[in-house]
Each structure stands twice: as structure tokens, then as C-alpha cells.
Amino acid sequence: MPQKIVLSALLGSAIGLAALPALARENYALLIGANQYQNLDERWWLKGPANDVQLVATYLTTEAPVPFPTDHVTVLTDGVEGYDHATLAAIRGAFADLTAKVQPGDFVYLHFSGHGTQAPALDPSTEVDGLDELFLPVDIGQWSNQAGAVENALVDDEIGAMIDGLRAKGADVWAVFDSCHSGTVTRGLEEVDEEVRTRQLSPSVLGIDPEAMEDVVSRSIGDPRDGVEAPFDDTSDEPGSFVAFFAAQTNEVTPEKNLPKGKPDRKPQGVFTFTLMEVLAEYPGATYSQIGQEVLRQYSVRNLAKSTPLLVAFSGTAGERVAQWQAEVTDAGLTIPAGTLHGLSQGAVLAVMASAADSDDAALGYVELASVDTFTATGVAVVRDGKTLPAELPKGVTLRKLDDALDFTITIALPAAGTAPSDALLAALDVLTEDAGPRLVFVAATEEADLRLAVLPDGPRPDAIWVLPSTGLAEDLASTPSVSTADKDGATLASTLADTLTTMARAQNLMKLGAAVGAGDLDVTVELQTRTPEDRTLRPLPFTPVPTLLPDDEVHVLARNNTDGPVDVNVLYIGADWSISHWFSGRLQPGDELKKGLFKISDAVLGSERMLVVVSPAKPQSPVEDLSYLAQDALDTTRSVGGSGLDEALGEAGFGETTRGAIALSDDGGDVGPAPAILQLELRTVAGN
């Protein structure tokens, strides 16, 4: 369907956690966290799954918009007293007990946190890639050539069958999988080994022959545009509805790390579980699609992980976004049942509302959050916009979250001292800080950061400084930026690295700005379309799951201005190589339609990319605002010697300069006003078969 620039209208019909269970007779949960795999070397153990399931259990029994009785929540995990371990037998038994209990109209929440992997499918014809996806219980064993299976593995087909059993009883099911299946990742930072782990296990660890895996995949067929497979298919014809969230697609990895960021009491958590719970807590009435979009947005803006969470939804109706909570008057101030999990932080200012239905301008006053933990926060009165909070407040006041202030600062962790490349960089740190400017903040290697600088002694460029994501994990060194040190003096090294980091920051901040501005409330429909060399019919590009494009696939835009005034439209593209391309700018008068081919995908750079459509009201007879100045060239990943409110925000982000390896479909260029709307679409570009 066309994408209307109204957040609540994006992506049609799907329901949030608040809507479906509200009609349920009973709510049940089965939470599975596998940590210590007794038959595997300890280096393959995880720390976060036990914390994941405890976090989810606390949310469901205390904070969820629908009640989950404590005795209706079953937890299987190890390392926590009072719970059975997540063995294959225990998981099967818990599913059997749950299936026997549920009645038509009940709601079931399932959560799987632990390692995942792949193995040759028992029936290759049932899998596009010829591989079964596995969730690993704690008693996982080794591959048996005789049986053609891994001992005690929970195979995708069995998971699907168990879920179908619940649905056959008439229960509606949510399933969340915080595991991954890709077998490749480079651990970039030894000093953060204990903090960042990936929830994937190479099949070779389980005794599966890598050559046999490659042979299976090479004989498989399938068009990547059809989307990466979910870990299992929905094959049930039964009445219960079904929604599944996956932390990563089957060719990706997903990490666990210490969360919430920057808190002294943070603990290992699955990044996907923690982010999903944050979104559900902050927006309990959001649609499935809104939940998926917000998780993707937070991954991008906060640089949490490179994986692409996948949403599979089969039914439902839209709910409303909620970002406010009823307050209790305490000695410390006004306390609400919301905290870091709900997107709140110390120092944030919330409006005090007499009624949850009042508009923002009816605020009685404001409070600043003085203390915040995972599930609660307390605010004290502050003067804002000339308003002082009255001493006497009506009963049942609500605290409403205001718009977040946009911070364009990028925090970068320095490499640990002790190697020649890192020592060369640290010696030039003063010059680097001056060249990088105030938006790039450098911190110690052990601190939280948006990006991490690292030395990889065993990598392809041992003399280089590598720029890694916040996790310190590089999934593809070929596309990971690095700067050599042996051929540079201190000033040249600082200048080259500052330029690299600034280029990355510009692209990151443009995505951050797009996420902060959001879809707004302009009545403008925007649809992005694609067609292939084989099929010239234009078809819509979905916003979720993330669409996959191949070289020579075309991207087109279809837009219609339904407002009573003119609007300006700009289309920008952020490449996997950190380039920013400007593909269109123009004006739509009321009722006008825009139909335009933008570009086709080249094979120069492939990966995770993002398109931004910027729409804003325009004054009649004013110049069309042209955002082409935001363009910048692709980043050389192996560096050796060699006017409006939006304008002000972009200037603060540090932009300016030109273009990626996508190929224009036409050479006609075009030439945004107050309160722009920015619609973001994430794309995945891959090589063809």
C-alpha cells in the first residue's frame, strides 16, 4: 500500500501487544534462556539469556498493558535459582503442558534466547537454502552423520509444529527469537570479549563438515529478492493468530552486551530483547509494524548492532501510540512506573498533565527526572515555558514524555595502548581531537561508545586502526573502514582518521535526524517502488521486512500531495560505503503526483543501506529547497596516504559535500520549509546468484 506520511498509518493493519491479548481469556508465557552449554567448551557459553528471560518476566507480570499472572509465566534457564534448565526435554515438556492448558481465545507469549546455528536440512526441499535453522538447548550435542542431525537440537520445523499445536487450540501466539544462525563474525576487541558476545555458533563447533554445508547451499535455489527466510514458516490453517519477531535474518549475527548503556548496574542482555522490551514499554499500543520500525530505528540511531530484526505478522488491527504514565506523589517527587526500558533517562523533562487526554499546551507544569532505573523514574518540579508546577495537584496526574532533544555528538572509544598502531594514534590524540571538531568525542577503550577504534594484529592490515561499531565486532572486514599508520606521521594519521570519522558521522547523523523528525502529520502519500531487468512491472518496496535488491534493480518514487498547500520533496540515499547521494528535489502543488525513476543498484558496494524521503510544507513562490549539498563521496575504507530549520539542524550535524555507486536512471536534477517529515526505508543490497 502507499506509505502515508503519518506514523500511525504506516504499513497497514497489525496489532500491538496491548490490543490482541485484551480480549484473551487467559495470558500465558513460556520464556527460554540457554546460557551454559555443558557439552561445549566454556568459551561458547553465553551470559545474557538468563537476564533476558528475567527482564521479560518482570515486564509481563508488572508492566505489560495486559495482566500476566505470575503462575502463568514459565521460565526455563540456568544460572538462576528456582528454574529448570532449558534442556530439549524441558522445552518439549513445557510446550506440552502449555498446549494442554490453553483454551480458545487465550494468548501465549514465547521467548527464545540463546545460541542458534544451521545444519543440512533433513528434507532440503523444504528450505530455500537447503539448511535447517536450529535453536540450541543447553544439552546440545554433536552432529551425527548416521542420523543426519545434531543431538538434542531444536529444529525450526519442530518449533513450528509446537506453535501450530497452540494455535490449533485457538490460542493467539507471539514468538520472539533472540538468537542468530550465521557462522561468521570477527571479534575485533579482546578487551571487550567479556562484554560483547554473539549468539551464533559455527556449525563446525557441533561437528558439521563445512564442505557439506557449502555443498548443500550451492545446490539450493531461490531469489534473494523474496527475502531471507525466517527460521520457520507459517503453515498452520488453524484459527489462532501468530506473530514472530526474529533478532536477525538467517545470514546475520546478533550480539549480547552490557545494558542499559552507561549505567553502573548494567548487565549482559540480548541487544534485541532489551530493545524490543524498550519499545513495548515505551509504546504499548504500537502496531506490529511500528514496533518493527522502531526497533530498526533504535538499532540505526544508537548503532546497537548491524543485524536486521525480522517481523512476521499475520493478522490484527492498529493501536495508538502511548508515551505517558500515571504518577504517584512520593516524598522524592512524582514517581511513574516507567524507566530506562521506556526510553527515559536522568535529566529528561516530562510534562505534568491533569488528564491523559489533554493536549501538550495544557500541561500543569514540568518535572525533571532525578532518578531512573529499569522500571521506575522519579521527577522533581522545574520551571519551563514560564510555568511553575502548582503545590496542590489533582489526583491521578499523568507524566508525558516530550520530544527528545537531538544530540549529534558521536562518541568514539580509543584503542587500548600497547601496540605500535594504537600508540601512534594516542601520541597524536591532541591533533586528532582538534581536526575532528567538537561533535566527535573520544573516550577510553573501556567506556561506552557509538564507534570503537581497534587494532587487529591477526587481521589483513595489522598496522591499521580499524573503525568498528559499538559492539567491537566486525562482520565483514572488507567493508570495515581502517586507516594505516606505518606510512604516516602523527599529523597525517590524525587528519586522515578525522576525515574518516567525520564522513561516517555525517551519514550517521543524517539517519539520526531522520529518525528524530519522523513521519510527521503531513497528508502526503509516498510509495517507493522497484522493478527488475527480468520483470519491468513496478511493485511496491515494503518497509518491513527489510527489502532485498540485486544489482540492476531499479528504485522509483510515487508521491501525491493531498494537502491544500505546496510541499517540497527531496530523496537522499545513504550507502553501505557511508556515501550520501541526492537523487531528487522538487515541488508538488496541491493534488500533484510525482512519478520518477531514481536509480538502479550497482554492484560496486553492497550491504545495509537507507533511503530518506524528506517532505516539508513550502511557501508559495518560494525557491524549491535543494538538499543536494548533503551529498558526500563514498568513504575509502582502507585509507592510506594518498537556510531553514532543517538547514540549521543539518548544519549542526556537520554535513556538506557527493555520491554512491548507484546509477541514475535519468540526468534531470531538481532543484523544505518548516516542520519537515522524513520517511526512512532500510534496504539490503546483495549480489545476484
- Among residues 485, 501, 466, the alpha carbon closest in space to that of 425 is found at 485
Does 378 have pLDDT greater than 90?
yes
pLDDT in the model for residue 483: 93
Helical ranges in 587-689 per DSSP H:
645-653
Out of 126-135, 210-219, 376-385, 588-597, pick the least confident. Answer: 210-219
**Within this chain, do residues 602 and 680 fall inside the same structural domain, yes or no?**
yes
Q: Using CB atoms within 10 A of its CB, is residue 138 exposed (0-12), middle (13-18) or buried (19+)?
A: buried
Q: Is residue 217 part of a domain?
A: yes
**Within this chain, do residues 37 and 169 fall inside the same structural domain, yes or no?**
yes
Whole-number CA gyration radius for the chain: 25
Confidence class for position 102, pLDDT limits 50, 70, 90:
very high
**Within this chain, do residues 145 and 245 fall inside the same structural domain, yes or no?**
yes
Q: Is residue 65 part of a domain?
A: yes
**Within this chain, do residues 549 and 492 fall inside the same structural domain, yes or no?**
no
Confidence class for position 319, pLDDT limits 50, 70, 90:
very low
Residue, of 103 and 157, whose pLDDT is higher: 103
Q: Is residue 4 part of a domain?
A: no
Give yes or no for a contact between 167 and 242, defined as CB atoms under 8 angstroms apart.
yes
Amino acid identity for residue 478 in this structure: A
**Within this chain, do residues 562 and 476 fall inside the same structural domain, yes or no?**
no
Gap between the Cα atoms of 389 and 352, Å rounded: 8
**Within this chain, do residues 561 and 487 fall inside the same structural domain, yes or no?**
no
**Within this chain, do residues 660 and 523 fall inside the same structural domain, yes or no?**
yes
In the numeric block, the cell 546483495 is attached to: 686
C-alpha cell at 504: 561516517
Out of 48-57, 506-515, 596-605, 661-670, pick the least confident. Answer: 661-670
pLDDT in the model for residue 310: 64
Does 635 have pLDDT greater than 90?
no
pLDDT in the model for residue 426: 95
In the numeric block, the cell 525557491 is attached to: 623
Q: What is the DSSP string of 77-134?
A: ESSSTT-B---HHHHHHHHHHHHHH--TT-EEEEEEES-EEEEE-SSGGGSTTSEEEE
Which phi and psi (to 5°) does residue 630 adopt?
-80, -15
Residue, of 343 and 187, whose pLDDT is higher: 343
Give yes or no for a contact between 505 and 439, defined as CB atoms under 8 angstroms apart.
yes
Residue ending a domain, choose from 396, 425, 446: 396
Domain count, the chain: 4
Residue ending a domain, choose from 290, 313, 336: 313
Residue, of 207 and 368, whose pLDDT is higher: 368
| Contacts with 372 (C-beta within 8 Å, 6 or more apart), sequence order | 339, 340, 344, 345, 346, 348, 378
pLDDT tens string 431-467: 999 998 888 999 998 887 888 999 999 888 999 999 9
Out of 115-119, 125-129, 535-539, pick the least confident. Answer: 125-129
**Within this chain, do residues 176 and 101 fall inside the same structural domain, yes or no?**
yes
**Within this chain, do residues 432 and 569 fall inside the same structural domain, yes or no?**
no
Plot region of 262 (φ>0 → left; ψ -120 to 50 → alpha; else → beta): left
In the DSSP assignment, the letter for residue 624 is P
**Domain extent at residue 368:** 328-396
pLDDT in the model for residue 17: 45
Residue, of 280 and 128, whose pLDDT is higher: 280
**Within this chain, do residues 369 and 432 fall inside the same structural domain, yes or no?**
no
Q: What is the mean pLDDT of residues 118-128?
A: 66
pLDDT tens string 397-411: 889 888 655 667 788
Residue, of 295 and 319, whose pLDDT is higher: 295
Q: Is residue 7 part of a domain?
A: no
pLDDT in the model for residue 8: 22
Q: Is residue 404 part of a domain?
A: no
Q: What is the mean pLDDT of residues 552-558?
A: 88
Give yes or no for a contact between 128 and 193, defined as CB atoms under 8 angstroms apart.
no
Confidence class for position 381, pLDDT limits 50, 70, 90:
very high
Gap between the Cα atoms of 354 and 481, Å rounded: 52
Give yes or no for a contact between 297 and 286, defined as CB atoms under 8 angstroms apart.
no
CATH code, domain with 222? 3.40.50.1460
pLDDT in the model for residue 617: 84
Helix (H, G, I), strand (E, B) or coil at 683: strand
Residue ending a domain, choose from 476, 509, 542: 509
**Within this chain, do residues 351 and 466 fall inside the same structural domain, yes or no?**
no
Gap between the Cα atoms of 388 and 582, Å rounded: 46
Q: Is residue 629 part of a domain?
A: yes
Q: Is residue 403 part of a domain?
A: no
What is the overall mean pLDDT for the chain?
78
Q: What is the DSSP string of 221-245?
A: ---GGG-PPPSS-----SSS-EEEE
CA 134 from centre of chain = 23
- DSSP β-ladder status, 663-664 and 328-330: unpaired
In the DSSP assignment, the letter for residue 61 is I
**Within this chain, do residues 463 and 604 fall inside the same structural domain, yes or no?**
no
Q: Is residue 5 part of a domain?
A: no
pLDDT tens string 65-94: 777 999 999 999 998 988 999 999 999 999
- DSSP β-ladder status, 451-454 and 440-443: unpaired
Helix (H, G, I), strand (E, B) or coil at 587: strand
CATH code, domain with 481? 3.40.50
Gap between the Cα atoms of 354 and 365, Å rounded: 10
